[in-house]
Chain A
Amino acid sequence: MTDPPLDVIRNCFEGVVPAVLATCDGDGMPNVSLVSQVHYVDCARVALSYQFFNKTRRNILTNGLASVSVMDPESVTDYRLDLAYEETRSDGPLFESMKAKLAGIASHSGMEGVFQLLGADIFRVTAVSVASGPYVVPPNAPRNLLSAVRRSWTELGEARELGALLDRALGCLGRHFGITHAMVLMRDSVADRLYTVASTGYARSGIGSEIALGDGVIGVAAREGVPIRIGHMTSEYSYGAALRDQARDLGLGAGDDTRIPYPGLAAPESQIALPIIVGGATAGVLFAESPEPMRFRYDDEDALALIAARLGELMAAGLDGVEAESSPHPAKVPAGRAVHVRHYGADNSVFIDHDYLIKGVAGAIFWKLVSEFDRTGRTEFTNRELRLDPALRLPEFAENLEARLVLLQRRLCERECPVRIEKAGRGRLRLCVPGPLTLEDVPADTGKLTA
């Protein structure tokens, strides 16, 4: 390990101040240039952004040696690192993590479209020395992240249902991390999309809104299974642009009734997305954002990665999706009037009294429940029968059903729907119906996706 260790000087690797990179060619002639990104890989390695094939690049490939000066802008300390080249990666988690960060640096420095990551050049750090400084005692950290993780760890372990766990996680982010805008999205591995199941801090919850795999920091974090963060917003990772593109690609206009608006901040500066891993695969994403630039640093990433890991561990242990109580109370239905439920087989979208409720697997579950109720009068169902129902075509993850039930229960509450679902015991749910239902099924081959 170097002295000082790389993980205590990570403030140098945020890209606030350009680093200085020295290399030599085969004849020993030096070359010196500014580099916008030196990325912390681990306690022994850093990665430099390879953006252009230039003299620096040729020199690195020739003799593999480099010397870099990095600055901690808060303490104003100049560190010198001796580097030995190991390899270049042009895709994968490290590459995507650097690409997102570089896009933010480019946006902040007026170089959007010029800075393009071609590769992540990984170097072993052979020596670290302090050349100058520190000149300033850095300001106290606004919070103790280790303590915040410990408190959150305990609180999350007390949740007994998936929805409560997610809400508790967002509550912990607010109380212990000072994060006021956050959401949890789950992955639909069949449709390659992520859907929002919990959020905090937004004017509208956005429960049920979707992000395509690969879009923005959330989509890239899910696709690559790696934390992605950005300190200065850039159009490349903006959801406004991504959602407009998706709508255009799908031929959707403003009149589409089955799109739930994405709830995110209109003008975020910092964003961080952490994959939630269950059984070795990305099951969802914990996402936080802030209007403040550079809000999330390396230490925040480590701390939030532990929260995401805790969520994954608890999800894998098995939690009921449906909560006991559903609030606010369902709307009263005038006596004698039936609740109208229309289902489109093409995408399993469900409309209640002409208002869009949900689509996809959650829509299929709801249709199964109300159809069964309509046919037999049955109101109690087991998770097991839903899981085994071939018509629902549930994806591989065991927790996916629970996440769909959280989504469905929350949409029913949010839409103030007279029909509700609630927990009826371990692994059981109850369909609460206030009166008669009229069901209308529009099969896939005739379905027209408008209400």
Chain B
Amino acid sequence: MLRADRPSRPSEELADRRGWTGPTYANGVLTAELAEFCQSGVSVVMASRDEAGSPLVARGLACRIDGEGRVRVMYREPPNTAFQDAIAAGAPIAVTFTRPYSHRSIQLKARRADLVRPAPPDGPATLVQTRVFRDELVGVGHDEPFPGFYTHFEPHELAALEFLPESAFVQTPGPSAGSALEP
């Protein structure tokens, strides 16, 4: 089975962020390396809350991050309508990106997000990233047809939202998981 010889550790993620000297986006919340990780074909899961304050879970497909650090998440609309309604009503958002191979996991949060019409590059980017993620699911031992169907989407189902991350956290399992990623 294809797994990292040693899983990622939260302490390493925190140290890497503190030692980062390269470009950053979204007012320093995202490093260029984190942005690249989020767009590399990984698991994308999301949460918001309804008007009563109850949490709502959602599953995404892929993301694109622009030069200012705005994160655009592509997802299938039909399974995630309750979550989408909450975002439309101005509820806050949390998105976690995870790579199964190493268990590396990062969470981004913002007080609001905007539903946006999918742009022409969104479909191809989603296709590329979900193919990478599908191969990784197979690589870590998931038998088909699960990886294929899990990452499958019909073009007409594709929806998108955008947000400027206000904070980032390490979610990799282990001590210090959940700590804020800060300079």
B45 near A132 with CB under 8 A, answer: no
* Bound: A28/B4 CA distance, A: 36
In the complex, what residues of B have CB within 8 A of residue A368's CB? none
* Bound: A78/B75 CA distance, A: 14
Closest to A20 in B: B45
In the complex, what residues of A have CB within 8 A of residue B149's CB? 76, 133, 135-136
> Does B129 sit at the interface, judged by CB under 8 A?
no
A63 near B98 with CB under 8 A, answer: no
* Bound: A67/B178 CA distance, A: 18
A114 near B173 with CB under 8 A, answer: yes
B169 near A71 with CB under 8 A, answer: no
Which of A30-38, A296-304, A400-408, A420-428 lies at the interface? A30-38
A32 near B59 with CB under 8 A, answer: no
> Does B26 sit at the interface, judged by CB under 8 A?
no
Which of B16-24, B46-54, B119-127 lies at the interface? B46-54
> Does B155 sit at the interface, judged by CB under 8 A?
no
> Does A68 sit at the interface, judged by CB under 8 A?
yes
Nearest CB in chain A: distance from B82 CB, A:
8
B141 near A34 with CB under 8 A, answer: no
In the complex, what residues of A have CB within 8 A of residue B173's CB? 36, 51-52, 111, 114-115
Per-position binary interface string of chain A over residues 350-369, scored 1 when its CB falls under 8 Å from any chain B CB and 0 otherwise: 00000000000000000000
Closest to A73 in B: B146
Closest to B150 in A: A76
Nearest CB in chain B: distance from A46 CB, A:
14
* Bound: A320/B83 CA distance, A: 64
Q: Given A30-B94, A76-B150, A67 and B109 touching (CB < 8 A)?
A: no
Per-position binary interface string of chain B over residues 49-72, scored 1 when its CB falls under 8 Å from any chain A CB and 0 otherwise: 100011111110000000000000
Contact of B55 among A65, A109, A110, A115 (CB under 8 A): A65
How many residues from A make CB contacts under 8 Å with B?
44
* Bound: A297/B25 CA distance, A: 47
Contact of A34 among B43, B53, B175 (CB under 8 A): B43
* Bound: A21/B92 CA distance, A: 16
A54 near B177 with CB under 8 A, answer: yes
* Bound: A368/B78 CA distance, A: 76
In the complex, what residues of A have CB within 8 A of residue B76's CB? 132
Within 8 A of A (CB), among B139-175: 140-142, 145-146, 149-150, 152, 169, 171, 173-175
Nearest CB in chain B: distance from A316 CB, A:
44
A29 near B94 with CB under 8 A, answer: yes
In the complex, what residues of B have CB within 8 A of residue A20's CB? 45, 57, 59
> Does A387 sit at the interface, judged by CB under 8 A?
no
A34 near B98 with CB under 8 A, answer: yes
A52 near B57 with CB under 8 A, answer: no
Nearest CB in chain A: distance from B128 CB, A:
22
> Does A131 sit at the interface, judged by CB under 8 A?
yes
Interface residues on B, range: 35 or more
Closest to B103 in A: A111
A30 near B169 with CB under 8 A, answer: no
* Bound: A31/B3 CA distance, A: 26
* Bound: A359/B1 CA distance, A: 45
> Does A22 sit at the interface, judged by CB under 8 A?
yes
> Does A66 sit at the interface, judged by CB under 8 A?
yes
Interface centre among A24, A66, A109 (most CB of B within 10 A): A24
> Does B96 sit at the interface, judged by CB under 8 A?
yes
Closest to A131 in B: B79
Within 8 A of A (CB), among B83-97: 91-96
Within 8 A of B (CB), among A255-289: none
A-B contact count (CB 8 A): 130
Q: Given A34-B43, A54-B177, A28 and B142 touching (CB < 8 A)?
A: no
B57 near A69 with CB under 8 A, answer: yes
In the complex, what residues of A have CB within 8 A of residue B48's CB? 22, 30
A54 near B141 with CB under 8 A, answer: no
A52 near B107 with CB under 8 A, answer: no
Nearest CB in chain B: distance from A379 CB, A:
60
> Does A242 sit at the interface, judged by CB under 8 A?
no
Q: Given A17-B142, A68-B57, A30 and B7 touching (CB < 8 A)?
A: no
> Does B11 sit at the interface, judged by CB under 8 A?
no
A73 near B142 with CB under 8 A, answer: yes
B96 near A30 with CB under 8 A, answer: no
> Does B105 sit at the interface, judged by CB under 8 A?
yes
B103 near A78 with CB under 8 A, answer: no
Contact of B79 among A21, A54, A78 (CB under 8 A): A78
Q: Given A24-B55, A76-B145, A110 and B3 touching (CB < 8 A)?
A: yes
Interface centre among A22, A65, A74, A135 (most CB of B within 10 A): A22
In the complex, what residues of B have CB within 8 A of residue A24's CB? 47, 49, 53-55
Contact of A23 among B55, B152, B174 (CB under 8 A): B55
* Bound: A115/B3 CA distance, A: 16
A109 near B3 with CB under 8 A, answer: yes
Closest to B49 in A: A24
Chosen A-B contacts, 29 in total, with CB atoms closer than 8 Å, are: A20-B59, A22-B47, A22-B55, A24-B54, A28-B49, A29-B94, A30-B49, A30-B55, A30-B109, A31-B47, A31-B107, A33-B171, A34-B43, A52-B173, A52-B174, A52-B177, A52-B178, A54-B177, A67-B55, A71-B146, A73-B142, A73-B146, A78-B59, A109-B3, A109-B100, A109-B140, A111-B103, A114-B173, A132-B79
Known: A32-B95, A33-B105, A52-B177. 14 other contacts (CB 8 A): A21-B57, A23-B47, A28-B53, A30-B56, A31-B109, A32-B46, A36-B173, A52-B178, A55-B178, A63-B53, A76-B145, A76-B150, A78-B59, A110-B1
